[in-house]
Structure 1
Amino acid sequence: MQDLLPKARKEFNKLQKRLRREMGQAIADFNMIQEGDKVMVCLSGGKDSFTLLHILMALQKSAPIQFELVAVNLDQKQPGFPEEVLPAYLQQLGVDFHILEKDTYSIVKEKIPEGKTTCGLCSRLRRGNLYGFAEKIGATKIALGHHKDDMLETLFLNLFFGGSLKSMPPKLLSDDKKNIVIRPLAYSREKDIISFAEQMDFPIIPCNLCGSQENLQRQTIKGMLADWEKQYPARIETMANALQKVAPSQLADTSAFDFAGLEEERAKAQADRIQLVNTLATEA
């Protein structure tokens, strides 16, 4: 970590405590980690996953339960990828780790035309490999570095481009029911993570596969949210709170709420009222 002046050190300590508090609260609210869990921390080499690993390691020392941490990086064989950086850093950190080598880069470049968005296929391939490896090493939880801003961006991506109202849940059971994915940074803001990563001087490794695609839909959404936050500083927190206050009866998804049964519910309520009145009259 970079040397800090006393005032800067104080601010950094406040930031670190806030990130720990938010992660601890998210873990408690969604029962993310339990006694004896083996948590596989997916480490991409970016600011989010480095922050995830460090805060989890800090919480592990003071947690009232015992759980294991193992860092896993998927080396996708991108040209120029500095494959020596993460092993050296993780050895110095003293955490158990694995480097999983899978050439998904060639598959993505072969399947996706030049100039088109690669993130969709890349993420599916990465997820498949990591999920399978989690089973292989006996991990009971898979921790990803998505934060509050990611969750909101995904909400609007699905709303504007996918025609659905969904986001990234803090805790998820995979479709095949084999893996539980957790997002311990679900309550943390990206701006705090950026500041923490800078002050910790993490050896950030950029993603050269899609990093140059400036017109991605997510970047458009990210810019929109940033503009909203400038105009209405509390809007991000308000929208994030809305993710935990969903009212299916006020939407229009017949699979999430029984609109067809409202008449039956009303009739039952009326019958209950009549029964209550009769009971009171008899007791009187």
Structure 2
Amino acid sequence: MVLGLGTAIRYVSRHLFADAGPEFETMNDIANSTDVDVPALLRQAPSSVEFKKLRKRLLRQAREAIGDFGMVPEEASETNRPNWLVCLSGGKDSYTLLAVLIELKWRGLLPVDLIACNLDQAQPGFPPEILPKFFEDNGIEHIIVREDTYSIVTDKIPEHRTYCSLCSRLRRGILYRIAREQGCEAIVLGHHRDDILETFFMNLFHGGRLASMPPKLINDEGDLLVLRPLAYAAERDIQKFSDGMEFPIIPCNLCGSQDGLQREEVKRMLQSWEKETPGRLGVMARALGHTRPSHLLDRQLYDFVNLRPQDGAAQDSGGEAEEPCGASLAMSTKLFAAE
């Protein structure tokens, strides 16, 4: 049987990643390397055992997410590579995303071409020289676009209200345009596991719906994908990675300067839960991939109206929800919680 490349990536991710794969065994050979074949960004990686384990974990989790959600098309190959627009804000998440994707590509595990993109939104105090210098110093193909969305947001939204919703809509529309101009199949974002859980609880508490950030979606026009390869990665791992790599972080002075954001409240709640019960966020992340429509209340997902007992016929309702067993919880922690 001959598998397409996308299928092969998903198969390898599921069946061979228990040992992280032999391709990662000598991964710290790149640290402080002068080999011209090693991407310049990767040469900054610390050579400690602890950091090696952290890098391996992030690479494994990204590769699993890419495989599990079919982010690479079946027909992709080294001679037929799609273009991905990797969005860089200057924060820890997007820097880590770019570094992980560059390493996966360099190791021959990601047959795509990467174009780094920063959208300068004309925020006060934004240092326009940092990201161009970072890209040029590391030989990274990139594009810088300046669009004054800051003035639009601050003009349309009262000062005491949060800017995030309008800001993100404007930013996404511009990124879609850039992706089309650059011939990209997808825009790639640095959202991680904790972002996904925060969005779930935001929707639960304030939106009255069960929804979050999917690792892969298609835009309304149907011509571009939105990908989140760090969907399985914990924020604390990303923070440690960013600190170790000494990325030139650019703080957000627009949304980040507003106090009392609902998302910040949810973040504090989740962090408190994780502190009290380590591994809890991993269990909750696993739950997002194991829904049972017959045990919820959505009549559009499950036909409750026509559900009737039938003599001698098995029902697909599954009966009452089972309590999670210890083995299931242990597996959840192993798969999703930071090691």
The answer to whether the superposition gives a TM-score over 0.5 is yes
Contact kept? 2:101, 2:110, Cα under 8 Å: no
Aligned to 1:121: 166
Q: CA shift at 1:180, angstroms?
A: 0.6
Give the match for residue 277 of structure 1. Answer: none
Match of 1:141 in 2: 186
Tell me by how many angstroms 1:261 deviates: 3.0
What is the deviation of 1:93? Answer: 1.4
Q: Which moved more, 1:26-35 or 1:14-23?
A: 26-35
Partner of 2:177: 132
Q: Give the alignment's Cα RMSD to 1 decimal.
A: 1.8
CA-to-aligned-CA distance 1:237-264 (integer Å, 9 cap, x gap)? 110000110111111111222222324x
Q: For 1:198-217, list aligned pairs within 5 A.
A: 198-217=243-262
- Counterparts of 2:214 and 2:115, CA distance in 1: 22
Counterpart residue type for residue 150 of structure 1: D
Q: Which residue of 2 aligns with 1:278?
A: none
Which consecutive unaligned segments of at least 5 residues does structure 1 have? 271-284
Match of 1:218 among 263, 269, 292: 263
Would the aligned equivalents of 2:65 and 2:231 in 1 still touch at CA under 8 Å? yes
Q: Distance in 2 between matches of 1:257 and 1:10?
A: 49
Out of 70, 73, 78, which is 1:31 matched to?
70
Q: Would you tell me which structure has more helix in proportion to its own residues?
A: 1
Q: Shift of the alpha carbon at 1:218? A: 0.5
Amino acid at match of 1:242: A
Q: Determine the C-alpha separation between the residues in 1 that align with 2:202 and 2:109.
A: 38
Deviations 1:90-146 (A, max 9, x none): 011111111111110000010111121111110111011111211111100111000
What is the distance in 2 between the residues matched to 1:256 and 1:241? 20
Instruction: For residues 210-269 of structure 1, give each alpha carbon's deviation from its aligned partner in whole angstroms, at most 9, with x where no partner exists.
Output: 111121000000000011111111211110000110111111111222222324x94894
Is the 2:197–2:212 contact (alpha carbons within 8 Å) kept by the matching residues of 1? yes
Deviation (angstroms), 1:164? 0.6
Partner of 2:61: 22
Alignment of 1:30-69 (within 5 A): 30-34=69-73, 35=76, 36-64=81-109, 66-69=111-114
> Residues 65, 76 of structure 1: CA spacing in aligned structure 2 closer, same or farther, 3 A cutoff?
closer
Residue 279 of structure 1 is matched in structure 2 by: none
Higher Cα radius of gyration: 1
Whether 1:74 aligns to 2:119 is yes
- 1:10 maps to 2:33: no
Give the TM-score, by structure 2 length: 0.75
On the 8 A contact 2:88/2:95 being kept in 1, the answer is: yes
Q: What amino acid sits opposite 2:94 in the alignment?
A: S
Question: Could you say which residue in structure 2 is the equivalent of 1:261?
Answer: 306
> Structure 2: any 5+ residue segments left out of the alignment?
1-42, 315-339
1:194 matched to 2:239:
yes
Aligned partner letter, 1:20: L
Equivalent residue in structure 2 for 1:88, among 117, 130, 133: 133
Q: Which amino acid aligns with 2:167?
A: C
Distance 1:166 1:30 in 2: 17
1: distance between equivalents of 2:261 and 2:121?
Answer: 21
TM-score normalised by L of structure 1 = 0.89
Shifted more, 192-201 versus 58-67: the winner is: 58-67
